């Protein structure tokens, strides 16, 4: 099998091929290392770890030969550079952490390595996961492997843009992402891949650089729903080191993909029909309903009345938590330190944070500090938490009459660099469909379902009940089968 053929395989096909000894983990890893080297123009990686990957691949081959292989033995993955990796630089795409090499492994990446996965490197992202377009990284923009109709470069979505770009370009078999307000699902939609944010607490947050602790959740990004299900099983699990981790058994998510959704009720929220939504996205949403109906599901209208308050609520809660979490980056213990001549300790703090944080991070810290300050805490933060509870209640009420909710993933296809970066509000509106599920801590999935008039991928979005990833994946799999999305970007980056 040629190197290109190996990189085209899904995770499930790689797993089965390795088991049947049709190729080795080393061959599979070498094929992906070659693809990674050829695709450097995409800037998907902050750190490449080819030597480490080959070591892990050799260990996987030995485990397969002994009959002791883990469920992900030999599968080459990319790890978002928000997950601490022992002995490998972890930056959260910020200058303030450049050169920081953790002495420990995040629980999620440790789980993947325990199951035999191979790490190709650390993937680029929006700085501290703050952004929807991968334009805020201190290490440069990530390019979407898809290009505009005139050949212009497009954003890969954010914050997990390095992950989405690498998966779509076939540089990695799959990748880890994190999702605070849509950072797995929106980039998945922009690059024509799948991605799931599990229920808050399903995956441990220990060892993931924190943005907003009550929202952050890790999840897999891959080319198929089956691959997402395989990875999610390895990533999940109780972790006593994370007080928000759920002590519950992890289902075999792959077994849920039965294709049988007869009798399931699919809710369509009227509030998601937003003004100015492109007709193509409206039409795709309708197509999604038709596919599910044809598979035996019942389409029901539902209402999520507080949806209109989700974005403002999110942009109070998330920056408030960020302002608190990012206070630790002070130039004292790790990362960047800028010491002004004859300056005081306060001068050092100020100079370090001014030089180390990017504009979007500073903007969110300032918003967060403001809403937590004396005199404004009750007016903003406390009120936002009350509205968040109402948004969660809306979903609880909706699930009395449906089993899963179907919406578009994003209000547009991928856009060109600079198209929205000058206007933060226009950028924040990218997350209008994904934020409510994050505020409520619900599992949600994006599945590639079609292309727009320019041939760019569009995603459909499923939101499930708490801890019901199985239904979300099952319905997503039915959409995937019906959509038969086979479009992929041309490899313009391979010279």
The single residue of 24, 80, 109, 234 carrying the catalytic annotation is 80
Find the catalytic residue in 94, 132, 159, 160: 159
Cβ–Cβ under 8 Å, residues 355 and 374: no
Q: What are phi and psi of 273, to 5 degrees?
A: -85, 80
- Of 131, 89, 91, nearest in space to 361 by CA: 131
**Of 34, 103, 49, which Cα lies nearest the Cα of 79?**
49
By the 8 A CB rule, do 196 and 256 touch? no
Q: Which residues are CB-neighbours of 433 under 8 A, at least 6 positions away? A: 182, 272, 407, 408, 409, 410, 411, 461
Phi then psi for residue 151, to 5 deg, are: 85, 5
Can you tell me whether residue 85 is helix, strand or coil?
strand
Q: How far apart are CA 140 and CA 230, in angstroms?
A: 31
Q: What whole-number distance in Å separates Cα of residue 7 and Cα of residue 24?
A: 13
- Angstrom distance (rounded) from CA 304 to CA 195: 23
Closest to 156 (Cα-Cα) out of 118, 210, 195: 195
Closest CA to 215 of 454, 440, 472, 474: 440
d(CA 186, CA 236): 21
| C-alpha span between 145 and 222 (Å, rounded) | 15
Q: How far apart are CA 210 and CA 216, in angstroms?
A: 7
Cα–Cα distance, 362 to 359 (Å, whole number): 5
Q: Can you say how many angstroms the Cα of residue 188 is from the centroid of all Cα atoms in its chain? A: 7
Classify residue 381 by its DSSP letter: I
Q: Report the alpha-carbon distance of residue 424 to residue 436 in Å, rounded.
A: 19
- Please report the DSSP string for 32-72 in residue order: HHHHHHHTGGG--EEEE-HHHHHHHHHHHHHHHHHT---TT
- Residue 128's nearest CA partner among 307, 270, 329 is 329
Active site annotation includes 303? no
Distance of CA 328 to the CA centre of its chain: 24
Where does residue 467 rank: exposed (0-12), middle (13-18), buried (19+ CB within 10 A)?
middle
CA 234 to CA 110: how far, in whole Å?
10
Which position among 132, 183, 234, 421 bears the catalytic label? 183
- Verify whether residue 446 is a known catalytic residue: no
Contact in structure between 116 and 69 (CB atoms under 8 Å): yes
Residue 159 known to be catalytic: yes
List the one residue out of 437, 178, 186 whose CA is nearest residue 314.
437
- Catalytic positions, written as ranges: 80, 159, 183
């Amino acid at each position: 099998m040629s190197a290109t053929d190996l990189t085209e395989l899904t995770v499930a096909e790689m797993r089965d091929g390795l088991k049947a000894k049709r190729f080795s983990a080393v061959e599979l890893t070498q094929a992906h290392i070659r693809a990674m080297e050829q695709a450097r123009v995409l800037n998907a990686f902050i750190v490449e770890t080819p030597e480490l990957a080959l070591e892990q691949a050799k260990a996987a081959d030995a485990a397969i030969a002994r009959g002791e292989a883990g469920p992900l033995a030999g599968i080459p993955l990319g790890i978002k550079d928000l997950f601490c990796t022992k002995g490998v630089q972890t930056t959260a795409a910020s200058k303030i952490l450049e050169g920081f090499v953790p002495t420990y492994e995040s629980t999620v990446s440790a789980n993947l390595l325990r199951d035999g996965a191979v790490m190709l490197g650390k993937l680029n992202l929006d700085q501290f996961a703050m952004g929807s377009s991968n334009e805020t990284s201190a290490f440069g923009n990530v390019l979407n492997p898809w290009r505009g109709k005139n050949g212009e470069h497009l954003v890969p979505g954010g914050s997990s843009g390095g992950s989405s770009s690498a998966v779509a370009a076939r540089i990695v078999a799959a990748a880890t992402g994190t999702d605070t307000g849509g950072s797995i699902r929106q980039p998945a939609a922009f690059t024509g891949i799948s991605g799931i944010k599990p229920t808050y607490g399903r995956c441990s947050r220990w060892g993931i650089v924190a943005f907003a602790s009550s929202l952050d959740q890790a999840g897999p990004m891959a080319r198929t729903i089956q691959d997402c299900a395989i990875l999610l099983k390895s990533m999940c699990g109780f972790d006593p080191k994370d007080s928000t981790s759920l002590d519950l058994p992890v289902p075999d998510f792959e077994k849920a993909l039965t294709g049988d959704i007869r009798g399931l009720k699919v809710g369509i929220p009227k509030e998601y029909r937003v003004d100015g939504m492109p007709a193509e996205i409206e039409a795709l949403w309708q197509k999604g309903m038709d596919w599910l109906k044809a598979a035996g599901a019942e389409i029901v209208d539902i209402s999520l009345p507080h949806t209109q308050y989700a974005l403002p609520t999110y942009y109070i809660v998330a920056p408030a938590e960020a302002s608190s979490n990012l206070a630790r980056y002070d130039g004292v213990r790790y990362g960047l330190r800028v010491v002004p001549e004859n300056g005081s300790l306060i001068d050092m703090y100020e100079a370090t944070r001014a030089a180390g944080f990017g504009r979007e991070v500073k903007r969110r810290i300032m918003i967060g500090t403001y809403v937590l300050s004396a005199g404004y805490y009750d007016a903003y933060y406390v009120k936002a938490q009350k509205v968040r509870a109402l948004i969660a209640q809306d979903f609880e009420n909706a699930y009395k009459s449906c089993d899963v909710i179907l919406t578009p993933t994003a209000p547009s296809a991928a856009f060109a660099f600079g198209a929205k970066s000058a206007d933060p509000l226009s950028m924040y509106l990218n997350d209008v469909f994904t934020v409510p599920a994050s505020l409520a801590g619900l599992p949600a999935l994006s599945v590639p379902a079609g292309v727009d008039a320019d041939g760019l991928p569009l995603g459909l979005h499923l939101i499930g009940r708490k801890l019901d990833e199985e239904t979300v994946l099952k319905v997503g799999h039915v959409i995937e089968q019906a959509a038969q999305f086979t479009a992929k970007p041309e490899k313009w980056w391979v010279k």
